Amino acid sequence: MDVSASRDVPELVEHLFRRQAGRMLSSLCAVLGLENLDLAEEVVQEALIKALTDWPYRGIPENPRAWLARTARNLAIDALRRQARFRDREQAIAERLDARSRCIPDPSDLDEDSALPDDQLAMIFACCRPEIPLESRLALTLKTVSGLGVGEIARAFLASETTIAQRIVRAKRRIEELAINLALPAPEELGDRLDSVLHVLYILFNEGYSAAAGENLIRLDLCEEAIRLARLLARRPDTGTPRTLALAALFLLQASRLPARVDHAGDLLPMAEQDRSLWSRELISEGLRLLSGAASGDQLSSYHLLAGIAAEHAVAATFHSTNWAHVLDLYDMLVDVDPSPIVKLNRVVAVAMAKGAQAGLDALDQLGEPKTLRDYYLLPATRAELLSRQGRYAESREMWRRASEKPCSAPIRRFIEKRLAEHTPPPWLRGNLTSG
C-alpha cells in the first residue's frame, strides 16, 4: 500500500481517465472494427475499473497511460479468446493491439495530448457523419471521443440519462446500417466530412456557452471539450483548414469573456456591463493568432465572420468604443451568407450601436415576428432596450413584460425581472408617467 508520500509517483493529471478512455476506445475500434464498438467500450470500462481498484493500494504507476493501454490490450485479448468469431484472427489482432500499445507517450508529456492520433481523428469523423441525427452525433462524440459518462452528458444537455442513452443507441445503429469503417476520409472527401465535424463542435460550444434552460448558464465542460477538439484539429495540417482555424478562433474569443459573464450572484451580465479586465488575455491573443491564420486562402465562412465580430469586441476597451461600423459590416456579410432570423436580430444591435436607436428600431420592424423567434426572449428584449434609449419607458416596460413570458433559464429570468423592476416607476411617480 502506497502510504509513503516520499515515493515519487506522478500526480493524477486533470482528465487523464477521460482522455485515455477516448484514446483507448479509438485504438481498439481501429483494430477490432467499428462494428465492435460495444465490446471496445466494455474493455475500456474494465481497464479503468482495474485502475480504480488497484491504484489506491499499489500506488499510481510511473506511466499511467501505458498501464491503462496495456491493461486494455490484455483485456481485449481475453475478450477475443472468449468469442468464437475472433478465434482465427486472434493472433493478427493481438499483434496490431501490441503495436498500438507500444506507442505510448512519454510520462513527462502527461499534461495534454498535444497531437491528435489518426485513430482518434477517424473516430471523430465516424461519430460526426451527417447521416447520423445531430443530437445523436453530439452524444456519441462526447461519449466515445471526449470520454464523458452518460450521466455527465445528461446533466450537460439537461436531458434524462435514458434520452442520452437512446441517442447513443440510435447513433450506433446508424453506424451499423451504414457499415461505417473507422478510417480517415480520402483527401477529396475530407472537406465535406470536416464541415460536419466543425458543425458538431459549433453546436457543442454553443450549448456549453449558454444553456437553454436550467440553473447554470455556462456548461464549462462542453466549452472546454469543443475548444480542445478544435485546437487539435487546427494543429493537424490535413484538418487545419482556414475554416477550422476560424472556428477555433471563435471559440477562444468567446470563451475569453466567460470569467466576466456572470456576476457574483450567478446572474447574467450583458456585454455592456462586463468588467473587461476579467476577459482572458491569453485566450484573446491565441484567438487573434488563429484568426489571422484563418485569413488565408479564398475560404470565407460564417465562422470567419463570427470570429471577426468576436475579435472586434475582444480588442475594444469598452462597449461604446467598439468599432461598431466594422461589426455592422461583418453582420451585413453574415446575413448574406446566413439570413436566419437570429443573425438578423444580432445585426439589429449592431445597427443601433452604429447608427442610433431609431435605425435599430427600423431594422427590427423589418425583421418582424418570424416564427422561429416567437419564443425567443431577446426579440422583445432588444426592442425594449432600444425604446428605453429613446426615453419611451412605458413602451419599453411592455416589451420587458413580454420578454418575461418567454421560456428561459433562471439566470436570464432574473435578468429580465431586474430590467422590468427598473422600468417600473415607484408608486409616487406612477401617476405622472406620460406614455411615449
Partner 1 sequence: MPKFMLILHDSKDRGYMSLSPEEMQNVIQDFRDWARKTAESGAMLGGEKLADEEGRRVKRGPEGTIVLDGPFSETKEVVGGFFLIEAADYAAATAIAGGCPQLSWGWVEVRQLDPHAGSDSCALGEVRDLIDQNREAQLARA
Cβ closer to partner 1: 59 or 370? 59
Contact 23, 113 (CB under 8 A): yes
Q: Could you say whether residue 220 binds partner 1 (CB under 8 A)?
A: no
**428 forms part of the interface with partner 1 (CB under 8 A):** no
Q: Is residue 15 a contact residue for partner 1 (CB under 8 A)?
A: yes
Q: Which stretch binds partner 1 (CB under 8 A): 72-80, 147-155, 203-211, 330-338?
A: 147-155
Query: Of 58 and 85, which has the nearer Cβ to partner 1?
Result: 58
Spatial neighbors of 110 by CB under 8 A, at least 6 apart, are 10, 13, 16, 64, 65
154 CB-side CA count, 13 A: 11
Grid cell for residue 135: 443530437
Return the DSSP state at 56.
H
Helix/strand/coil for 1: coil
Burial of 210 (0-12, 13-18, 19+ CB in 10 A): middle
Q: Spell out where 196-336 has E strands.
A: none
**Span interacting with partner 1, options 86-94, 142-150, 271-279, 364-372, rule CB under 8 A:** 142-150
Chosen residue from 21, 156, 197, 349 binding partner 1 by CB under 8 A: 21
Q: Segment contacting partner 1 (CB under 8 A): 14-22, 72-80, 197-205, 361-369?
A: 14-22
Is residue 274 within 8 Å of 262, Cβ to Cβ?
A: no
Among 1, 265, 317, 429, binds partner 1 (CB under 8 A): 1
Distance between CA 38 and CA 44 in Å, rounded? 10
- Figure out which of the listed residues 17, 117, 236, 316 binds partner 1, where binding follows CB under 8 A: 17
| Alpha-carbon gap, residue 171 to 167, rounded angstroms | 6
Q: Does 151 bind partner 1 (CB under 8 A)?
A: yes
Candidate list 20, 101, 141, 254; residue touching partner 1; CB under 8 A: 20
- Out of 152, 207, 385, 395, the residue judged to bind partner 1 by CB under 8 A: 152
At its nearest, how many Å lie between partner 1 and the CB of residue 168?
13
Residues that bind partner 1 (CB under 8 A): 1-5, 12, 15-18, 20-21, 45, 48-49, 51-58, 60, 147-152
